[in-house]
C-alpha cells in the first residue's frame, strides 16, 4: 500500500499557521489552504475530519509545543524567582522564534475554538506547574492566592509585552522593541508584586 507523505501533512500544517497568522481566522479557507500547500482539497480531509478539526488539532499541537518550550530546563524545586524567570525567558524566546505560531495561537485563543483548546493546555499546565506555586507558598516566598490571581499577575504582563512587540508599535504611537532588559525590568515589577 501507499505510504502517507509526511511532507504533505507538514506543508498543510505550516501553510495553515501562516495563513491564519497573516490573514486572520476569518479569512482562512480550505480551498485556499489546499492551493497554498500545493495539495488537493480532498487530501486535507484524509488527515482532518473537517475545518474545525484541522484548526483545533493544529492549535492544540502548537499549544503543547509552546508549553513544553516554556518549561524547558525548568526545575520545580528551584527558588520562585529562578523558576519564574526561566519560564519567562523560555516563553519569550519561543514567541520570538515562532512568530507565526504564536500569532496563530493568539488568534485561536480569542475565537469560538477557545473552549476546545483550554483542556489540552490546562492539562499540560497543571501537570508541571501545580506544585511549583504551592511550594513557593509553603516556603514563604509568595503569598497564598487563587491560581487565577497568580496567573494574571505572573504571566499576563509578559504576554502583553510580547504582544506589543509583535504589533510593532505601542499605545502612544511610538516604536516599541522587545529586549532582554525590558523583560527584566517588567519581571522585577511582577516579582516584587508577588513576593512577601
Interface ranges with DNA (CB under 7 A): 1-5, 8-9, 27-32, 38-43, 45-46, 50-52
The residues in 96-135 that bind its own copies, with binding defined as CB under 8 A, are 106-107, 109-114, 118, 122, 125-126, 130
Q: Which does 2 bind (CB under 5 to 8 A by kind): DNA, its own copies, none?
A: DNA
In the complex, what is the shortest distance from the CB of residue 43 to its own copies, in angstroms, rounded to a whole number?
23
Q: Is 181 exposed, middle or buried (0-12, 13-18, 19+ CB in 10 A)?
A: exposed
Interface with its own copies includes 30 (CB under 8 A)?
A: no
Strand partners, 195: 142
Q: Which residues touch 126 (CB under 8 Å, ≥6 apart)?
A: none
Interface with its own copies includes 9 (CB under 8 A)?
A: no
Q: Between 9 and 86, whose beta carbon lies closer to DNA?
A: 9
In the complex, what is the shortest distance from the CB of residue 67 to its own copies, in angstroms, rounded to a whole number?
12
Residue in the structure block whose three cell numbers are 475530519: 49
Q: Which residues touch 83 (CB under 8 Å, ≥6 apart)?
A: 74, 75, 76, 132, 136
Q: Smallest Cα–Cα separation from 16: which of 97, 100, 94?
A: 100
How many positions of this chain bind its own copies (CB under 8 A)?
51
Count CB atoms within 10 A of the CB of residue 86.
17
For its own copies, which residue of 23, 40, 79, 131 counts as binding (CB under 8 A)?
23
Q: Which does 73 bind (CB under 5 to 8 A by kind): its own copies, DNA, none?
A: none
Strand partners, 175: 169
Residue 121 CA to residue 70 CA, distance in Å, equals 12
Q: Which does 23 bind (CB under 5 to 8 A by kind): DNA, its own copies, none?
A: its own copies
Task: Name the 3-class secondary structure at 195.
Answer: strand
Residues that bind its own copies (CB under 8 A): 23-28, 106-107, 109-114, 118, 122, 125-126, 130, 145-149, 151-153, 155-161, 164, 167, 169-173, 176, 182, 185-186, 189-194
Amino acid at each position: 500500500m501507499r505510504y502517507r507523505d509526511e511532507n504533505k501533512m507538514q506543508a498543510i500544517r505550516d501553510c495553515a499557521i501562516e495563513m491564519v497568522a497573516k490573514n486572520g481566522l476569518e479569512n482562512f479557507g480550505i480551498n485556499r489552504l489546499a492551493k497554498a500547500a500545493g495539495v488537493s482539497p480532498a487530501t486535507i480531509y484524509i488527515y482532518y475530519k473537517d475545518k474545525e478539526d484541522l484548526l483545533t488539532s493544529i492549535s492544540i499541537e502548537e499549544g503543547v509545543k509552546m508549553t513544553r518550550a516554556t518549561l524547558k530546563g525548568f526545575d520545580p524545586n528551584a527558588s520562585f524567582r529562578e523558576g519564574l524567570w526561566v519560564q519567562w525567558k523560555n516563553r519569550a524566546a519561543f514567541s520570538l522564534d515562532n512568530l507565526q505560531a504564536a500569532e496563530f495561537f493568539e488568534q485561536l485563543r480569542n475565537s469560538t475554538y477557545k473552549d476546545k483548546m483550554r483542556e489540552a493546555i490546562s492539562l499540560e499546565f497543571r501537570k508541571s506547574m501545580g506544585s511549583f506555586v504551592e511550594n513557593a507558598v509553603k516556603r514563604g516566598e509568595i503569598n497564598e492566592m487563587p491560581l487565577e490571581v497568580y496567573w494574571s499577575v505572573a504571566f499576563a504582563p509578559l504576554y502583553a509585552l510580547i504582544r506589543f512587540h509583535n504589533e510593532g508599535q505601542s499605545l502612544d504611537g511610538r516604536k516599541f522593541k522587545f529586549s532582554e532588559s525590558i523583560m527584566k525590568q517588567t519581571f522585577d515589577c511582577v516579582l516584587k508584586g508577588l513576593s512577601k
